[in-house]
Amino acid sequence: MSTKELKEAINQMRKEKNALILAHYYQTSDLQDIADYVGDSLALAQWAAKTTADIIVICGVHFMGETAKILCPYKKVLVPDMNAGCSLADSCPAEDFTLFVNQHPDYTVISYVNTTAAVKAVTDVVVTSTNARQIVESFPKDAKLIFGPDRNLGNYINSITGRNMLLWDGACHVHEQFSLEKILELKKIYPEAEVITHPECKKPIIHISDFVGSTSALIKHAVKSEKKQFIVVTESGVIHEMRKECPDKEFIPAPPDDSTCACNECNFMRLNTMDKLYNCLKNESPEIIVDERIQKKAIIPIQRMLDISAKLGL
């Protein structure tokens, strides 16, 4: 099938099946362009929560599909590739995390959305990188808090909120791979460029950054900044939206440590393709299934996050 035919077939099926296609900013440009909405992890959950569609297709990774399914247990939630996992979610096995939580019964548990449904089921409130700061700050300064699973995001939030949350020792292999040296080299080539960074990156990179935020915060910052050049320290898929929003500005992807490649891509996110989106709409598979007992527990901290975010206007 040609690209044009593929797009037409996807468009026809989504109409016939009343399907909503949601894509994360780390998806390939063609998937971002065909989606009904493109957004960060928080936006994907918000759209899923309010849609009247019968089918939700999440062009993203497994935990994003799970979050949508937890919020909409009676809808069909599909992902183009079931193998699109997440190293950060994998760094926090539910059994080990539950043990850790049980060892600290007087602590409130805050979990990043990049976790499995079973981890969310033992969580008090879920956060994304868009709302983590505000949600942590909604607790008293001396509150005993556990934050999992991302140690880099946890350290960053501790540093900007003056908290001392107990951190789970997990990380994202994509964001941990950025090279400080290579970013500093780029900074010499583009001395006027702002370094804009996702908080899943390591501390030394956050330290030299001009702005730190979630994917949507990075895009918003690029739009309103007076600067014309940006070194983008996150998965390079986000640059597609930045270029669309700011055609007169230049976006330079920060390179990873261990390769000659100029940009850093999430191998899980990039498993999704237009062909797989077509097949998944056609076959209504692969479908995300969440155990009912886990769903009933996991929806509570996700809904709490959505309620707090709505109050904060996020």
What does 27 interact with, of ligand 13P, ligand SF4, none (CB < 5 to 8 A by kind)? Answer: none
Binding site partner of 214, from ligand 13P, ligand SF4, none, Cβ cut-off 5-8 A by kind? ligand 13P
Alpha helices in the chain (DSSP H): 3-16, 29-34, 41-50, 62-71, 87-90, 94-102, 117-120, 132-137, 151-161, 180-189, 203-207, 215-224, 239-245, 274-283, 292-312
For residue 280, give every residue at least 6 positions away whose Cβ sits within 8 Å of its Cβ, in sequence order, or none: 57, 78, 79, 80, 286
Q: Give the footprint of ligand 13P on residues 163-192 (CB under 6 A).
A: 172
Name which of 81, 80, 79 is nearest 64 in CA terms: 79
Q: In angstroms, give the least distance from the CB of 105 to ligand SF4.
A: 29
If one asks whether residue 129 binds ligand 13P (CB under 6 A), the answer comes out as: yes
- Considering the rule CB under 6 A, would residue 236 count as an interface residue with ligand 13P? no
Classify 309 as helix, strand or coil.
helix
User: Residue 184 in contact with residue 208, Cβ under 8 Å?
Assistant: yes
* 3-class DSSP state of 231: strand
DSSP H/E element including 139: none
Please give the structure tokens belonging to residue 81: 């590739």
Q: Rounded to the nearest whole angstrom, what is the least distance from the CB of residue 84 to ligand SF4 in the complex? A: 8
Task: Name the token pair of 123.
Answer: 């969580």
Q: Does position 309 bind ligand 13P by CB under 6 A?
A: no
| Under rule CB under 6 A, residue 215 binds ligand 13P | yes
Residue ranges in contact with ligand SF4 by CB under 6 A: 61, 86-88, 114, 172-175, 235, 266, 268-269
Contact segment (CB under 6 A) with ligand 13P among 10-18, 30-38, 125-133, 283-291 equals 125-133
Which one of ligand 13P, ligand SF4, none interacts with residue 87, CB within 5 to 8 A by kind?
Answer: ligand SF4
CA–CA gap between residue 151 and residue 170 (Å, rounded): 6
At its nearest, how many Å lie between ligand SF4 and the CB of residue 169?
A: 15
The residue (of 14 and 199) whose beta carbon lies closer to ligand SF4 is 199
CA-CA distance, 71 to 65, in Å (whole number)?
Answer: 10
115 binds ligand 13P (CB under 6 A): no
- What length is written for the chain? 314
Q: What tokens were used for 105?
A: 């019964």
Q: Work out how close the CB of 129 gets to ligand 13P at its nearest, in angstroms, rounded to a whole number.
A: 4
Round to whole Å and give the CA distance between 170 and 154. 10
Q: Residue 153 Cβ, how far from ligand SF4 at the closest point, in Å?
A: 10
How would you class 144 by CB atoms within 10 Å of its CB: exposed for 0-12, middle for 13-18, buried for 19 or more? middle
Compute the least distance from the CB of residue 41 to ligand 13P, in Å.
3
User: Using CB under 6 A, which of the segments 9-17, 47-55, 122-130, 132-140 binds ligand 13P?
Assistant: 122-130
Q: How far is the CB of 293 from ligand SF4 (least distance, A)?
A: 26
Residue whose CB is less far from ligand SF4, 10 or 25: 25
Is residue 272 a contact point for ligand 13P (CB under 6 A)? no
One of 128, 131, 152, 236 touching ligand 13P (CB under 6 A): 128
Binding site for ligand 13P (CB under 6 A): 40-41, 114, 128-130, 172, 200, 214-215
